[in-house]
């Protein structure tokens, strides 16, 4: 891992940003070298310039056209991997948002998941561009690395116990407190969390972290399904293969919590993670079972694979009891969200239009794309079954992400502002700054929006 900037006073080589077709004036030998490499400034092209003794004297990086850049994010991250060892600084025109994205992309490219085999980090280092807040970006990169590590770790090594240990480590490092509810207290206080986790020998629990003593209350709830087999409604193997990432909501809220605490935001933070394994055994909840819930609503389990909304509902009900100023839910909740928007864009739901606009704008500003979806009230009937208050899995599967969101909203009645993010948490193919594997989504957008939304 190499996710820090080089010291501001280090000697460094120029990395010259070249828009397509706009080559800078160079000495004749350098110009011949660049021409021979066929460097034209196409997006992502890199040309290292030889100095008098043969050592690099700098490099050119192709910025392409505005249209090409719009087809991705963090383009400069490619340079972090490709450049030779050394310290580099940027030369060229970037507005403050572009400079910040370039610098963050570089740090994000320094992430490695090295738990099971060594993975050398890039050896080129960047000096943080002037006007960019280096400490803030390093904190963001550290939070994102935590999210990625938690998601990437296979379920064998990341069960409810290990997720609890990771949350305890974070709490200890940041001076936060952690309380854990398990066993009989879980069964009485959080019956749906207990029911979803009942089939696994790895005991279900509710993890509750608190930090900060003054300021507005922000509560983050993250889905912590450490592995989702589907339960008795077993997933086919093609769908089960990636389900170590079903604690991606928990991983993402913990990464965000790390950013918030590390930056010392003036607020009272609470993080709730229902940590369970959705397994198969004689103790498993059954299709057709009706579960009681913390809120008092009864829920008919029409599909044991719609487990995320069950565990989240009990956690949201607890969160709602103290009516936090802002209540955020993050979950790898539905396959339907992916069908609708793909892996890159995160659908989110809120009734608060001002909040939605702040989040969307913040997402654009920090290259963390979000898209508002509707809490479409006419679909409420789809989640109302015959013999209980709610149905966890309407038949037909129409509007699957919306009906899941509507289900969650039933458990939030007192918090003045609620937003739910149906994240994917996974980068299916490597992209600049994002290797294939676990990835944080919507955390940076939230961090950016919080000061305005909570008037910090």
Interface with Zn ion (CB under 5 A): 225, 228, 246, 308
Kindly determine how many residues on this chain lie close enough to bind ligand BES according to the rule CB under 6 A: 16
Report which of 436, 320, 440, 316 is spatially closest to residue 370, judged by C-alpha positions.
440
Instruction: Please state the closest distance from residue 401 (CB atom) to Zn ion, in A.
Output: 13
Helix (H) or strand (E) holding 311: helix 308-321
* The two structure tokens encoding residue 54: 């043969």
Q: Least distance to ligand BES from the beta carbon of 147, Å?
A: 16
**Which part of the chain contacts ligand BES (CB under 6 A), choosing from 31-39, 158-166, 306-314, 432-440?**
306-314
Looking at the Cβ atoms of 152 and 332, the one nearer to ligand BES is: 332
151 near ligand BES, rule: CB under 6 A:
no
- Residue of 64, 87, 84, 85 lying closest to 75 (CA atoms): 64
Chain position whose Cβ is nearest to Mg ion: 305
Candidate segments 124-132, 317-325, 328-336, 444-452, binder of ligand BES by CB under 6 A: 328-336
Stretch that binds Mg ion, among 2-10, 193-201, 221-229, 362-370 (CB under 5 A): 221-229
Of the candidates 372, 365, 329, 331, which has an alpha carbon nearest to the alpha carbon of residue 452?
365
Question: From the CB of 87, what's the least distance to Zn ion, in Å?
Answer: 44
CA–CA dist 406, 379 (Å, integer)? 8
| Three-point CA angle 414, 420, 422, nearest 5° | 160
- Out of 105, 249, 400, 435, point to the residue binding ligand BES (CB under 6 A): 400
Residues with Cβ < 8 Å from 319, sequence gap 6 or more?
219, 221, 270, 272, 327, 412, 415
Strand order across the 13-19 sheet: 46-50, 56-64, 13-19, 86-91, 124-126
Binding residues for Mg ion, rule CB under 5 A, total: 3
Can you tell me which of 334, 358, 427, 441 binds ligand BES, judged by CB under 6 A?
A: 334
Q: Is 228 in the site for Mg ion (CB under 5 A)?
A: yes
CB of 119 to Zn ion, least distance (A): 28
**Residue least distant from ligand BES (Cβ):** 335
- Does position 332 interact with ligand BES (CB under 6 A)? The reply is yes
Smallest distance from ligand BES to CB 330, Å? 12
Q: Is 309 exposed, middle or buried (0-12, 13-18, 19+ CB in 10 A)?
A: buried
**Does 451 contact ligand BES by CB under 6 A?**
no
Is 306 or 326 the residue whose CB approaches ligand BES more closely? 306
Among residues 208, 228, 300, 368, which is the contact residue for ligand BES, using CB under 6 A? 228
Going 180 to 284 to 381 to 297, the CA torsion angle's sign is negative
Cα separations (Å) of 362 from 34, 153, 232, 357, 454? Answer: 39, 30, 41, 8, 14
- For ligand BES, the binding residue among 338, 361, 372, 417 (CB under 6 A) is 338
Contacts of 85 by beta carbon, 8 Å cutoff, 6+ apart: 123, 124
303 is a site residue for ligand BES (CB under 6 A)? yes
HSE-up of residue 430 (Cα within 13 Å, Cβ side): 10
277 binds Mg ion (CB under 5 A): no
Does 391 bind Mg ion (CB under 5 A)? Our answer is no
Q: Are strands 56-64 and 46-50 parallel, antiparallel or unpaired?
A: antiparallel
> Smallest gap, in angstroms, from Cβ of residue 305 to Mg ion?
4
On whether the CB atoms of residues 80 and 1 are closer than 8 A, the answer is: no
Comparison of 280 and 454: residue with beta carbon closer to ligand BES: 280
Decide: is 305 part of the binding site for Mg ion (CB under 5 A): yes
Does 306 engage in binding with ligand BES (CB under 6 A)?
A: yes
In the complex, what is the shortest distance from the CB of residue 349 to Zn ion, in angstroms, rounded to a whole number?
Answer: 17
Angle between helices 160-174 and 134-152 (to 10 degrees): 160
393 binds, among Zn ion, Mg ion, ligand BES, none (CB under 5 to 8 A by kind): ligand BES
Structure tokens at 256: 């965000």
Task: Determine which residue in the list 336, 367, 382, 406 makes contact with ligand BES, applying CB under 6 A.
Answer: 336
CB distance 195 to 311 below 8 Å: no
Give the residue among 302, 308, 298 at the shortest CA–CA distance from 337: 308
Which residues belong to the active site? 235, 309
Q: Find the shortest distance in angstroms from Cβ 331 to Mg ion.
A: 10
Residue keyed to tokens 């898209």: 371
> Per CB under 6 A, does 308 bind ligand BES?
yes
Q: Does 138 bind Mg ion (CB under 5 A)?
A: no
* Residues of this chain that bind ligand BES (CB under 6 A): 228, 246, 303, 305-308, 332-336, 338, 393, 400, 424
């Amino acid at each position: 891992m190499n996710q820090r900037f080089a010291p501001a006073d280090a000697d460094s080589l120029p990395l010259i940003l070249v828009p397509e077709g706009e080559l800078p004036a160079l000495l004749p030998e350098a110009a011949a070298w660049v021409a021979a490499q066929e460097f034209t400034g196409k997006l992502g092209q890199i040309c290292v310039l030889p100095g008098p003794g043969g050592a690099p004297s700098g490099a050119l990086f192709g910025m392409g056209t505005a249209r090409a850049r719009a087809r991705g994010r963090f383009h400069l991250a490619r340079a972090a991997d490709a450049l030779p060892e050394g310290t580099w600084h940027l030369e060229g025109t970037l507005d403050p948002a572009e400079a910040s994205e370039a610098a963050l992309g570089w740090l994000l490219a320094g992430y490695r998941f090295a738990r099971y085999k060594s993975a050398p980090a890039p050896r080129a280092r960047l000096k943080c561009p002037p006007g960019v807040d280096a400490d803030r970006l390093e904190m963001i990169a550290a939070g994102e690395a935590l999210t990625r590590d938690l998601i990437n770790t296979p379920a064998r090594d990341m069960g409810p116990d290990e997720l609890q240990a990771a949350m305890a480590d974070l709490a200890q490092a940041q001076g936060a407190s952690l309380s854990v509810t398990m066993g009989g207290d879980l069964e009485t206080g959080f019956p749906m969390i207990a029911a979803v986790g009942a089939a696994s020998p790895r005991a279900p629990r509710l993890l509750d972290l608190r930090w900060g003593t003054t300021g507005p209350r922000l509560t983050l709830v993250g889905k912590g399904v450490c592995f989702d087999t589907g339960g008795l409604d077993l997933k086919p193997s093609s769908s089960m293969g990636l389900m170590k990432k079903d604690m991606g909501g928990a991983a993402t809220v913990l990464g965000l919590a790390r950013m918030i605490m590390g930056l010392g935001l003036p607020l009272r933070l609470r993080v709730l993670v229902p940590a369970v394994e959705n397994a198969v055994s004689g103790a498993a909840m059954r299709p057709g079972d009706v579960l009681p819930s913390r809120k008092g609503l009864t829920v008919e389990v029409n599909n044991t694979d719609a487990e995320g909304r069950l565990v989240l509902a009990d956690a949201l009900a607890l969160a709602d009891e103290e009516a936090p100023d802002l209540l955020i839910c993050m979950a790898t909740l539905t396959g339907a969200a992916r069908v609708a928007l793909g892996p890159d864009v995160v659908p989110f739901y809120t009734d608060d239009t001002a909040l939605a606009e702040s989040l969307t704008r913040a997402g654009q500003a920090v290259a963390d794309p979000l898209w508002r979806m509707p809490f479409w009230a006419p679909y409420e009937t789809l989640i109302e079954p015959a013999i209980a208050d709610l149905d966890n899995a309407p038949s037909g599967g129409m509007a699957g992400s919306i009906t899941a969101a509507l289900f969650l909203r039933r458990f939030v009645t007192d918090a003045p502002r609620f937003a739910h993010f149906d994240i994917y948490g996974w980068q299916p193919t490597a992209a600049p700054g994002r290797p294939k594997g676990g990835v944080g989504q919507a955390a940076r957008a939230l961090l950016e929006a919080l000061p305005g939304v909570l008037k910090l």
